[in-house]
Amino acid sequence: MAEIVMCEPFALYNLLNQCRCVPRLAEINYLCLIDARESQDYNTSHVITAKNATVNSEGKFLLPVAVEVDSMQHIVVYDSNTSCLQEQGRAVECAQALAKASRYPVHIVRGGFQRFSALYPFLRTEKIMYTIMELENLKTYPVEIIVGLLYMGDQKQGMDSSVLRDLKISAVISISQSDTLESRTIKGNQTILNITVADSVSSDLYSSFERICSFIGSHINMGSRVLIVSRQGRSRCSTLTIAFLMHHLKYTLKEAWNYMLKCKPDMRPNTGFLQQLSDWELHTMGTKVTDISESNF
């Protein structure tokens, strides 16, 4: 029987918004998301792509139809408001049924639909069935790094006014290859900081770390939300995000790296940026703690 654990709403938010060439929700064995509430509640509104749990005549939860639970990479359950494993609510009962068939931990969303939908109302829907094409064309949002404060995504997301509005973004840091000088302008209600750096092993991001950490810190200290974007949202923006975590939360490079992998598993600073992060660790910690020659880097 698989382990049953609680997860925070932002962990589900990040699972829903992973994207490679297309949203990962289109992958058949990526996510099994189960709404354990009564059918009438589910039909009124539920988290995007969630399936309603079914019960038998004795009220026992059944495994979802046409879903190979044992091959699912992620299994997540929520009910109305379960907040701990000791509660004998519908989410726990449903998770127990799923855990018998799963090879991976079954996660229960802390606070259930009430908390998740309050934080991410734009991810609620009444839609029940999706075609593969619909899943491949779903809008994805930037991943959440620090809850309600720091987000990371690609250039397309950084220019999408509905994304900026839904996430209540106050400032955008855009890292791109351009002939224009760095500038600080206002676009709509967002402060835009443009950083001109190519995604190359020979490019210098290190000299921008102090400035960017100060910029992000000044905004989130006021409770404002910041989005960091680069073209694909994998190398340059993840480098800056890791640098900020090391500076702001006093993480080692390894700690920040592992934290980022949980938020966005396909993030990947290039080797030149990795070396600059190692130098940044020396600057922030006073010593190099992390061995970047290890296989996980």
Cβ neighbourhood burial of 264 (10 Å; 0-12, 13-18, 19+): buried
Q: What class has domain 4-136?
A: alpha beta
Residues 73-111: tens digit of each pLDDT? 999 999 999 999 998 899 999 999 999 999 999 999 999
Predicted pLDDT of residue 148? 97
Report, at the CATH architecture level, how domain 143-285 is classified.
Answer: Alpha-Beta Complex (3.90)
Integer CA distances (angstroms), 72 to 29, 50, 75, 84, 174, in order: 5, 14, 7, 23, 35
* Residue spans in the chain of domains classed CATH 3.40.250.10: 4-136
What SS3 state is found at 152?
A: strand
Give the residue range(s) of CATH 3.90.190.10 domains in the chain. Answer: 143-285
Helix (H, G, I), strand (E, B) or coil at 123: helix
**Which of 159 and 147 is assigned the larger pLDDT?**
147
Q: For the chain, give the mean pLDDT.
A: 93
Report the SS3 class of residue 264: coil
Q: CB neighbours (10 Å) of residue 105?
A: 15
Residue 185 has pLDDT above 60, yes or no: no
Residue-level pLDDT at 186: 45
Q: Which helix (H) or strand (E) holds 271?
A: helix 271-285
Segment 203-220 mean pLDDT: 96
Q: Which residues pair with 278 in a beta bridge?
A: none
Please give the structure tokens belonging to residue 166: 């839904």
Is residue 257 within 8 A of residue 297, CB to CB? The reply is yes
Predicted local distance difference test score (pLDDT) of residue 250:
95
Of the listed ranges 19-23, 46-50, 208-212, 213-217, the one predicted with least confidence: 19-23
Closest CA to 52 of 134, 113, 120, 141: 113
Q: How confident is the model at residue 179 (pLDDT cuts 50, 70, 90)?
A: very low
- Residue 241 makes CB contacts below 8 A (sequence gap 6+) with 145, 150, 152, 228, 260
Confidence of residue 173 (pLDDT cuts 50, 70, 90): very high
Helical residues (DSSP H) of 192-252, grouped into ranges: 206-220, 236-248
Cα 66 to the center of its chain, rounded Å: 27
Structure confidence at residue 188 (pLDDT) = 61
Query: Would you state the pLDDT for residue 295?
Result: 84
Per-residue pLDDT at 151 exceeds 50: yes
Q: Taking the CB of residue 296, how many other CB atoms lie within 10 A of it?
A: 8
90, 37 contact by CB (below 8 A): yes
- Please list, residue by residue across 229-245, b when 16 or more beta carbons sit within 10 angstroms of its beta carbon and e when fewer do: bbbbbbbbbbbbbbbbb
Per-residue pLDDT tens digits for 216-268: 999 999 999 999 999 999 999 999 999 999 999 999 999 999 999 999 999 99
Closest CA to 4 of 92, 90, 110, 112: 92
Which residues, 6+ apart, have CB-to-CB distance to 182 below 8 Å? 193, 194, 195, 196
pLDDT given for residue 183 in this prediction? 45
27 Cβ contact list (under 8 Å, min separation 6): none
